[in-house]
Amino acid sequence: MIKADVVIIGAGAAGLMCAATAGQRGRSVVLIDHSKKLAEKIRISGGGRCNFTNINVRPECYISNNPHFVKSALKQYTQHDFIALVDKYGLTYHEKTLGQLFCDQNSQGIIDMLKAEVDLGEVTWRMETPVMQVEQIDGGFVVTTPTEVWHCESLVIASGGLSIPQIGATAFGYEIAKQFGLSIVPLAAALVPLTFQAEDLWTDLAGVAFENVVVSCENTSFREDILLTHKGVSGPAILQISSFWEAGKTIEIDLLPDMDLEDFFRSANRDSLLSNVLADILPKRFLHVWLAKYGEIRPLKQYSAKELQVISTELHQWQVKPSGTLGYKKAEVTRGGVDTDLLLSKTMMVRSVPGLYFIGEVVDVTGWLGGYNFQWAWSSGYVAGLNI
């Protein structure tokens, strides 16, 4: 049995930050990951450019059964702390939209930076190493891999969520939680495209995009772009709302949030066909399919005020009922996870199992799209790293 102060399972965003922080405090740390390549999710993130944080990070941008849980970690390690680290390594970045910061040196720049930070902490790396067993013993834990048995005081589970199993996501963290009797808030694919029944009008509209629309589900709304696809609908506003959507719920899309359509109709050429009038403000392909439900297309003047009101309402409050999502293969994150009521928010330690920590996406904390999930990984990894 080899002794170490800390074993961290999962060398992704949260595990790397945690290992660097603990190692630089002088703790002996072993970082274990079953993947061959380091931090694959960081590599593919942000279209390869890694949207590493958001300048507007605040607790309200996170979904969790306990919305207050994120406050402590986000305060102890802020977006500005991570930006300072990026600056220290001479990496440059730009704000794309809505406070989202992307690395000019691509994701690899962020991975290299984190690896350098971990190496500064003289951490022992064990890549391509599956974990066969975890046991609690007096004074700590025993972690068994095919070739080694580690004995540690603190054990950190940083194995992430279920999204993109093709690059190494597993249910490991949830299984360890169950082994220790911890409850899991139900899991679901989130930040994911939504699907519709094949017979819906969607299949004819694949490729049609709308900019700056408002998508709502119950009391939550996002204003960004959407894209109709062969299977349903995608784009940032849909990914955002998918984290709030559950089977059976309807979503509402306001395609023209800034426009008073009845006013627009009043000032339009009354002899023009309705399709031509609307073609100034909506994609023609969309109108071709959408207007079919109102019968033969006539000149604007032949529509009654009531008919135009119905059309306006439907364009402002398009009700769609998704049949599902594209699932974990296409989801950016997993909603739900280890119940935050069981963890100390200041340190991420399990209240009932001293020395056991859960960090990052495996915890029931899901950020909005736009750098929020990485910030959660950095912040939760850092606070655990300070305390293990």
Point out which residues bind ligand FDA (CB under 6 A): 9-15, 32-35, 41, 44-46, 50-51, 130-131, 158-160, 163-164, 168, 170, 172, 332-333, 360-361, 371-374, 377
Phi, psi values for residue 114, rounded to 5°? -65, -40
Q: In sequence order, what DSSP letters do the residues of 170-219 get, joined into one string?
A: -SHHHHHHHHTT--EEEEEEES--EE--TTSGGGGGTT-EEEEEEEEETT
Residue number, 128 or 263, with CB nearest to ligand FDA:
128
- Shortest CB 48 distance to ligand FDA, Å: 9
- Shortest CB 190 distance to ligand FDA, Å: 10
Question: Contact at 8 Å (CB) between 227 and 234?
Answer: yes
Question: Contact at 8 Å (CB) between 77 and 382?
Answer: yes
User: Residue 382: in which H helix or E strand, if any?
Assistant: helix 372-387
Query: Structure tokens of 97?
Result: 């939209």
Integer Cα distance of 43 and 106 in angstroms? 8
Residue number, 172 or 290, with CB nearest to ligand FDA:
172
| Amino acid of residue 98 | L
- Shortest CB 37 distance to ligand FDA, Å: 9
Residue number, 46 or 235, with CB nearest to ligand FDA:
46
SS3 372: helix
| Closest listed residue to residue 321, CA positions, set 202, 189, 190, 191 | 202
- Shortest CB 152 distance to ligand FDA, Å: 15
- Shortest CB 197 distance to ligand FDA, Å: 26
Integer Cα distance of 364 and 40 in angstroms? 22
Residue number, 45 or 347, with CB nearest to ligand FDA:
45
- Shortest CB 142 distance to ligand FDA, Å: 16
Residue number, 165 or 181, with CB nearest to ligand FDA:
165
Query: Structure tokens of 16?
Result: 């790397």
Query: Structure tokens of 119?
Result: 């190496």
Residue number, 27 or 41, with CB nearest to ligand FDA:
41
Partnered with residue 7 across adjacent β-strands are: 30, 155
SS3 268: coil
- Shortest CB 42 distance to ligand FDA, Å: 6
SS3 108: helix
Residue number, 11 or 315, with CB nearest to ligand FDA:
11
- Shortest CB 14 distance to ligand FDA, Å: 3
Residue number, 184 or 287, with CB nearest to ligand FDA:
184
Helix %, strand %, coil % for the chain, to 5?
35, 25, 40
Residue number, 196 or 368, with CB nearest to ligand FDA:
368
Place of tokens 């207007």: 291
- Shortest CB 173 distance to ligand FDA, Å: 7
Query: Structure tokens of 107?
Result: 């994701």
Q: Kindly tell me the sign of the dihedral angle through the C-alpha atoms of 117, 123, 124, 129.
A: negative
Report the residue closest to ligand FDA, judged by CB. Answer: 12
